[in-house]
């Protein structure tokens, strides 16, 4: 004999098509990350001669930060920003992403100039950890 708990009465079950629809995002993300990781490995390690541990760190960073997605989703549902639950957070994220991409391009240009002056990467220098 099964015992009904209050949690069973509150939590509705999701139908299979809804579960599959929600899983399509992660499927697409996984398919695209395979292509991105393959290109990053080839270009960064083989062509640019960047050490594999630096490339692995760049590849693993999204997976290390992924638990924050749950927290950001809960935050956007609980606290509206400018009267909007998710739109305000999406707009702030898009603005921050634009600023970060601009700064990343500037950094890569500066780094490319430095690498051209030196004649190659100098990964033995401890200052590389400051980047």
CA dihedral angle for residue 39, residue 28, residue 87, residue 78, rounded to 10 degrees:
-110
Same domain assignment for residues 55 and 113: no
The tokens for 38 are 């393959």
Given this model, what pLDDT does residue 99 score?
Answer: 95
Same domain, 50 and 101: no
Residue 8 has pLDDT above 60, yes or no: no
Residue 30 lies in a domain: yes
User: What six digits make up the tokens of 91?
Assistant: 């707009």
Residue 112, domain member (yes or no): yes
Total structural domains within the chain = 2
Average pLDDT in the chain: 76
In a domain, 43, yes or no: yes
Q: Is 70 a domain residue?
A: no
- Which of 65, 93, 119 is the C-terminal boundary of a domain? 65
């Amino acid at each position: 004999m099964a015992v009904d708990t209050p949690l069973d009465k509150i939590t509705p079950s999701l139908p299979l098509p809804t579960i599959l629809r929600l899983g399509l995002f992660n499927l697409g993300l996984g398919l695209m990350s395979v292509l991105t990781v393959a290109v990053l490995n080839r270009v960064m390690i083989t062509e640019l001669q960047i050490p594999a541990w630096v490339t692995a760190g760049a590849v693993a960073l999204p997976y290390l930060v992924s638990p924050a997605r749950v927290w950001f989703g809960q935050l956007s549902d609980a606290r509206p920003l400018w009267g909007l639950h998710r739109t305000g957070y999406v707009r702030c994220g898009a603005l921050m992403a634009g600023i970060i991409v601009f700064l990343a391009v500037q950094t890569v240009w500066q780094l490319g100039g430095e690498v051209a002056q030196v004649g190659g990467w100098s990964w033995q220098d401890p200052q590389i950890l400051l980047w």
